[in-house]
Amino acid sequence: MASLLSIQDLHARVAGKDILKGINLEVGAGEVHAIMGPNGSGKSTLAGVLAGRETYEVTKGSVLFDGKDLLGTPPEERAKAGVFLGFQYPVEIPGVGNLHFLRTALNAQRRAKGEEELDAMDFLQMAKEKAKLVQLDAAFMNRSVNEGFSGGEKKRNEIFQMAVLQPRLALLDETDSGLDIDALRIVAGGVNALRAKDRAMVVITHYQRLLDYIVPDRVHVMSAGRIVRSGGRELALELEEKGYGWIGGEGGAAGKAKEARP
């Protein structure tokens, strides 16, 4: 079966600095892949490049999404095609209601697909249903987008948005970082509930802990802009035991330093 996401020899730079140095990755529909790696290994850059962040410059390689070139299109077109990025640092937009924001987004996506727009009442009904998934209450949904949310609330809001937008490819960039254990359980529960045959997920994480709650089909380890190891879940367990030290290169050194001093 052809992959839903197919990345070939992807190179990218930020502010003149090469960050991705030849990424190859195939993700099929229905699969969950985890990408792990130390600070600065290029995990978040990869997510940003796939979603179309303009500060990243692709210098080489190709990305096909559902067989079509992804890289040439602006971020909103990718979103409409079904690419969702769960942000590492979700952005605050004061004065813009969470629901208003999400309905605007959903209707933009529905228009693109030739579907009818949802009116405020139908949308509210649906949103309330989805919100239960991550235990967000109604008052919370009416606040401004991410404004004054705690770190944990922001991450739950990301998963809520994903549940409403029903993407075909979800890139979750460190959605587990900065979460207390209770919040992590909620977020992971939401992600697991959204696993589906026709949906692929790429879960980027810094901490092994996440994989106790989300069991990936494949695990990839990134270091210095490349995927240096790929394997099944056992690879994550190996990492847990050995840390990133054995990977070598810049990333390895960082991982080691981190281990020595909590």
Partner 1 sequence: MTSTETIQELARKGYQAGFVTQVEADTLPPGLDEDVIRVLSAKKNEPAFMLEWRLKAYRHWLTLKEPTWQAVKYHPIDYQAIRYYSAPKQKPKKDSLSEVDPEILRTYEKLGIPLEEQKRLQNVAVDAVFDSVSVATTFREKLYKAGVIFCSFSEAVREHPELVERYLGTVVPFSDNFFAALNSAVFSDGSFCYVPKGVKCPMELSTYFRINAADTGQFERTLLIADEGASVSYLEGCTAPMRDTNQLHAAVVELVALDGASIKYSTVQNWYPGDAEGRGGIYNFVTKRGIAHRGSKISWTQVETGSAITWKYPSVILKGDDAVGEFYSVALTNHRQQADTGTKMVHIGKNTRSTIVSKGISAGRGQNTYRGLVKVLKSAANARNYTQCDSLLLGDECGAHTLPYIEVKNATAQVEHEASTSKIGEDQLFYCRQRGISQEDAVSMIVNGFCRQVFKELPMEFAVEAQKLLGVSLEGSVG
Partner 2 sequence: MSASHYVDVARSFQARGDVPAWLQAFREEGLSQFQARGLPTSKDEEWKYTPVATLSSHPFQPVRDVSAGEDVAQAVARLALPGPRLVFVDGRFVPALSVLTGLPRGVVLKPLSQALREDGALLQETLGQFSRPSAHAFTSLNAALLEEGALLTLAPRALSEVPVQLLFLARGGDGPVLASPRIVVVAGEGSEATLVETYAGLGTGATFTNAVTEVSLGDNASLRHFKLQAEGDTALHLGGLYSRQGRDSRFQSHAFSFGGALARNEVHAAFAGEGGECVLNGLFVGRGTQHLDNRTDLDHAVPHCSSRELYKGVLDDRSRGTFHGKILVREDAQKTDASQTSRNLLLSEGAQVDARPQLEIFADDVKCAHGTAVGRLDDNALFYLRSRGISKVDAERMLTQAFASELVRAVPEGPVRARVEALLAEKLPGSAEVMG
What is the rounded CA–CA span in Å between residue 239 and residue 50?
Answer: 26
Beta strands in the chain (DSSP E): 5-14, 17-27, 32-36, 56-65, 68-69, 83-86, 93-97, 144-145, 169-173, 200-205, 218-223, 226-231
Nearer to partner 2, 67 or 262 (CB): 262
Please answer whether residues 160 and 191 qualify as being in contact, where contact means their C-beta atoms are separated by less than 8 angstroms.
no
For residue 205, list its beta bridge partners: 36
Q: Does 1 bind partner 2 (CB under 8 A)?
A: no
Closer to partner 2 by CB, 73 or 177: give it.
177
Q: Which is nearer to partner 2, 41 or 109 (CB)?
A: 41
- Nearest by Cα to 67 from 54, 81, 56, 80: 81
Q: Is 209 in the site for partner 2 (CB under 8 A)?
A: yes
Asked if 242 touches partner 2 (CB under 8 A), the answer is: no
Q: Which does 207 bind (CB under 5 to 8 A by kind): partner 1, partner 2, none?
A: partner 2
Q: Which is nearer to partner 2, 6 or 175 (CB)?
A: 175
Q: Which residue's CB is nearer to partner 2, number 28 or number 243?
A: 243
Could you give the CA distance from residue 187 to residue 184 in angstroms, rounded to a whole number?
5
> What DSSP designation does 4 have?
S
Stretch that binds partner 2, among 8-16, 84-92, 195-203, 219-227 (CB under 8 A): 84-92
Copy the structure tokens of residue 73: 């299109």
Helix 120-133 / helix 181-193 crossing angle, nearest 10 deg: 120
For partner 2, which residue of 16, 67, 114, 262 counts as binding (CB under 8 A)? 262
80 binds, among partner 1, partner 2, none (CB under 5 to 8 A by kind): partner 1
Site residues for partner 2, 143-162, by CB under 8 A, read 150-151
Pairing of strands 218-223, 226-231: antiparallel
CB of 185 to partner 2, least distance (A): 12
Of the two residues 129 and 180, which places its CB atom closer to partner 2 in the complex? 180
Residue 258 near partner 2 by CB under 8 A:
yes
Q: What residues make contact with partner 2 under the rule CB under 8 A? A: 39, 88-89, 92, 150-151, 174, 177-178, 180-181, 206-207, 209, 258, 262
